[in-house]
Amino acid sequence: MESLYLTGRFSLPELIGKLYFGVSDWSATSCISIVMGLLTMVGLWKMLEKSGLKGWWALIPVARDYQLARCAGRESEGRVLAVFSFLNTMLNVFGVALFYGLMRRGMPEETAVLLESVFAFTLMLPTFIYTIRVYSGLIEVYGVRKRWMWLWILPYVECLPPLIWGFNKKYQPAWKVEDIKAELARLATQGSATVMDEGLTVNLRERSATEFFQKKVLLRDIHMSIPQGHMVLLLGGSGAGKTTYLNAINGYEKAKAEVMLNGNNMYTQYKKMQYEVGFVPQSEMMRGKDTVLNTLLDAAKLRLPKDVSAKQRRERVDEVMDIFGLKPVQNNLVEKLSGGQKKRLSISMEFISNPSLFILDEPDSGLDGVMARELFVQLRKIADAGKIVIVITHTPDRVIDLFDDVIVLAKDSARTGRLAWYGSIEDARKFFGREKMEQIVKSVNRKEEGGDGLADEFVMKYAQAQKLGGAA
């Protein structure tokens, strides 16, 4: 270690030891750690092969953590774990040299050691948490008892689980990583929805992105037709793809899809259709020092076609203020408004263009029950005027009587957002066997998220019902 402290450089054995095993000397203790590390890699090689992956991933630090998470069905946790593993590896390999460099520049040794310790602990805690999550997933996939966790985390015996699970034919994973692709094919495609002359028709085949140098399918096979005058609730657990779905509908994030609104294609005729869609995000984007009136006038300039006169814009602003009860506070500064008034103003800004499709992402966040109810009653009136209103809310049961239909998105076993239901509220209750909407969300959420883990079951059930001519 003297060469490391004095020069801030590694010899090749030190670098290999640090990178792979976290040691840089060849004492008896370090040799034991190296042997345990080698045995662990051999076991992980066999485990990865059992899960349908290349075994040599076990030889690559950081990457093996991510691949192991894929085997555990915890890919999202694996991404986070890989990041922290990389940071830990860098600190382990170069930390001493870095802090020795700080000491050479005048930092007291005690301060440098303390700083290194703080860095190490800050990285160690989340690494440990996500490692436990991955190991928990492996325990579920291999169908063994939870007490195996102790062997994974205790020093000098952590090589036993991968060796035993990897070489003993008795221990087999419940599924292979490559089986996820087969599972996606098995989850029956629901055909396509018939395009309506009036209303919204969505035929979304796929919405994907590239993450960690590989394709990640975010949404797949979502087909539906929503008539005019319907107010629709959009449900789904965290990560199910609700916001991604809405962005695909309004053309903000294009997918492999055909989205038709009143006979017009949202993607190919986007410039023409941009005034037909109103989207209210969760965050409010308003200047606090402007008055309500000026805020809406500015919105009118942006949202209304260029050939609309100033007089017509003012008339539309007055009309919208009457609809949302903002006329009495039109000269008030935005920063002086109550929470409910700010929400109504935010909605009014998008409603200026009198859109045919109105999308709202948690418009009731931060509002009490009474104010939220008043807001949704107003949205119901908008739908009754012949508009389509789609709403995300995390407290649906307090206003569920105001909705016509519900969309339920769920993550399948491949962590892809799928359509688990679209239809009336009452039929949804029968389909899921749950009375409350929040119970429906719980049923399709993963078990580690506090749910029942029934997403695949309901996605398949809905797809089969659609093939038979209707969900039941």
Say how far apart CA 251 and CA 270 lie, in whole Å: 7
Q: What is the pLDDT of residue 178?
A: 60
Instruction: Give the residue, 110 or 79, on which the prediction is more confident.
Output: 79
- DSSP annotation of 369: H
Q: Please indicate whether residue 389 or residue 86 has the higher confidence score (pLDDT).
A: 389
Q: Is the pLDDT assigned to residue 213 strictly greater than 70?
A: no
Can you give the pLDDT at residue 254? 83
Residue 3: which pLDDT band, with cuts at 50, 70 and 90? very low
Strand 405-411, strand 256-261: pairing: unpaired
Please count the other Cβ atoms lying within 10 Å of the Cβ belonging to residue 279. 18
- For the stretch 31-44, pLDDT in tens is 777 778 888 889 99
The residue ranking higher by pLDDT, 64 or 21, is 64
Q: What's the confidence (pLDDT) of residue 98? A: 67
Per the model's pLDDT, the better-predicted residue between 393 and 122 turns out to be: 393
So what's the pLDDT on residue 9?
47
Token output for 427 = 């039929």
pLDDT tens, 126-178? 888 888 989 998 998 898 998 999 988 887 788 899 999 999 999 998 777 76
Residues 387-440 pLDDT 10s: 999 999 988 999 999 999 999 999 887 778 899 999 999 999 999 999 999 999
Q: Residues 316-352: pLDDT tens digits? A: 999 989 888 888 888 888 888 887 888 888 888 888 8
Report which listed range, 97-101, 183-187, 399-403, 444-448, is most confident: 399-403
With cut-offs at 50, 70 and 90, classify the pLDDT of residue 99: low
Q: What is the pLDDT of residue 12?
A: 46
Least reliable range by pLDDT among 61-75, 211-225, 339-353? 211-225
Show Cβ contacts of residue 130 under 8 Å, excluding neighbours closer than 6 positions. Answer: 77, 80, 81, 84
Checking if the pLDDT of 8 tops 70, the result is: no
Alpha helices in 239-331 (DSSP H): 242-249, 270-273, 292-303, 310-323
**CATH assignment of 183-467, given 3.40.50.620, 3.40.50.12280, 2.40.30.210, 3.40.50.300?**
3.40.50.300
Q: Rounded distance, CA 176 to CA 334, Å?
A: 55
Mean pLDDT of 379-391: 92
Instruction: Give the separation between CA 316 and CA 31, rounded to whole angstroms.
Output: 78
pLDDT band of residue 188 (cuts 50, 70, 90) is: very low
The tokens describing 293, both together, are: 């009136």
The full set of domain ranges for the chain reads 2-175, 183-467
Residue type, 410: A
Q: How far is CA 24 from the centre of its chain?
A: 40
Q: Can you give the pLDDT at residue 97?
A: 65
Name the pairing type of β-strands 264-265 and 405-411. unpaired
pLDDT above 80 (res 17): no
pLDDT on residue 95: 64
Position 7 scores a pLDDT of 42
Q: Which helix (H) or strand (E) holds 81?
A: helix 75-104
The reported pLDDT for the residue numbered 453 is 84
Residue range 443-461: mean pLDDT, rounded: 85
More confident residue, 286 or 266: 266
pTM of the model: 0.65
Percent over 90 (pLDDT), the chain: 23
Pair of tokens at residue 233: 């609730």
Kindly state the tokens that stand for 65. Answer: 């953590």
Residue 52 region, left (φ>0) first, then alpha (ψ -120 to 50), else beta?
left
24 has a pLDDT exceeding 70: no
Is pLDDT of 79 > 80? Answer: yes
- Classify residue 196 by its DSSP letter: P
Lowest model confidence (mean pLDDT) among 53-62, 188-197, 206-215 = 188-197
What average pLDDT does range 273-295 have in this prediction? 82
